[in-house]
Structure 1
Amino acid sequence: MTTASYLILTPPGEPAAAEKAAFIRDGFRWTAFFFPAIWLLVHRLWFWGVLALVAQFAASALSASPQLGVAGWVLSLAISILTALEGPQALVRAREAGDWTLRSVVTAPDLETAEMIYYGAQETPDKTTAAALPASDTSTKATRPPALGLLGYDGD
C-alpha cells in the first residue's frame, strides 16, 4: 500500500479544526501530466494555466518544423512533467497567497485516513492527559514541505 503526504490548509480566520480545511495531496498528478494547461485552469491557477497553454502552442508549432520537431516534443514533455510534479505546490502557494494557513502535513494511504489523523490530533485531550504531557511548542503553523517532489529530503 502506498502512502501520500497531504498538506492541510485552513481558510483565513478559521481555527485549525475547521471543517472547511483543504487537503491537498502532494505528489504526481496524472491528469496534470496529460492535460497540463486544463488542469491548471480548472484549479484556478490562471497565470500558470495561460503560460502552459502558450508554451503548449509553441511546442506544437516547433513540432511541425522538421528541424525543430524534437525540441517541440521535449518542450511539451517538460511542461507535462513540471505541471504533474509541481502542480500541488502551486495550489498550496496560491492558497497561502489568499491568506490560507498551512496547518499540517499528514502522511496517509488515502484522503479519508488523512482526515481522521488530522482531525483526531485536533481534538482537545482531557485534563488528566494534558497534565501528564510535558509542555511543548503549540504553534499550529507548519513548515513548508520540500518542493520539486523531494518528499524525503529535509534540507540537511
Structure 2
Amino acid sequence: MATFLVLIPPGAAAHDEKARFLRDRFSWIALLLPVLWLLWHRAFAAALLALAVQGLGLAIIGHAGLGAAGAALLLATGLIVALEGPSMVAAGLGYRGWTQDAVIVAEDRATAEEIYYTETAGTPERVEPSLTASDAGRRHGPMLGLVGFGEGR
C-alpha cells in the first residue's frame, strides 16, 4: 500500500480534476540523482540547495583526509531527497497556493484517483492544518518522520 497526498490548485474546490497526486515514498532515482529529481518535480529552491551541498561535498572529497566526510555529505543529500522529496514538492506547491485536500492510502495511483473522485457525501481523510503557538514560526510540518513537540516533551 502507498500513501498519496492530494493537492488542489489555488481557488479550486475539492475533487477538482486538476488535483495533483503525490506518492509519498522512497525514490531510488532521488537517492542517486537528487538535483535532477528535484528539478524534474519543479522544486527549484530545494534543487539549488542540494546542488550547493553536493558541490561542497565534491570539493571536500578532493582534500586529503576528508574524502569520507565529502562522500558522507553526498550520500546524506541523496538520502534526504530520497526520503523527503515528496514533502519538499508538497511544501513548494503550498507556497504557490496549492492546498492539501486529502491523504489516500491505495495500491496505486489509479486506485487513489478512483477513491478520491468517487467519494460522494463523505470525503477522503481530510488533513486540516492546525497552527499552535509553538508552530507559528515554522513554515512546514516536521520532516524525516519526526513529530512536532508542540505539547512538550
Identity of aligned residues (%): 40
Deviation per CA, 1:37-73: give whole Å up to 9, x if none: 1111222212211111111111111112221000001
SS of match in other structure, 2:4: strand
Q: Give 1:149 deviation, angstroms.
A: 3.9
Residue matched to 1:143: 128
Residue matched to 2:93: 95
Count of aligned pairs between the two proteins: 138
Q: Contact 2:103–2:126 (CA<8 Å) still a contact in 1?
A: no
**Alpha carbons of structure 1 residues 146 and 7: separation in structure 2 relative to 1, 3 Å:** farther
Task: Tell me the TM-score normalized by structure 2.
Answer: 0.80
Q: Contact 1:104–1:141 (CA<8 Å) still a contact in 2?
A: yes
2:14 matches 1:16 = yes
**Structure 1 residues without counterparts, runs of 5 or longer:** 126-137
SS of match in other structure, 2:22: strand
Which has the larger Rg? 1
Q: State the 4+ residue runs in structure 1 displaced beyond 3 angstroms.
A: 143-147, 153-156
Residue matched to 1:26: 24
SS of match in other structure, 1:148: coil
Supply the RMSD in Å over aligned alpha carbons. 2.4
Residue matched to 1:72: 70
Residue matched to 2:116: 118
Q: Contact 1:40–1:49 (CA<8 Å) still a contact in 2?
A: yes
Residue matched to 2:36: 38
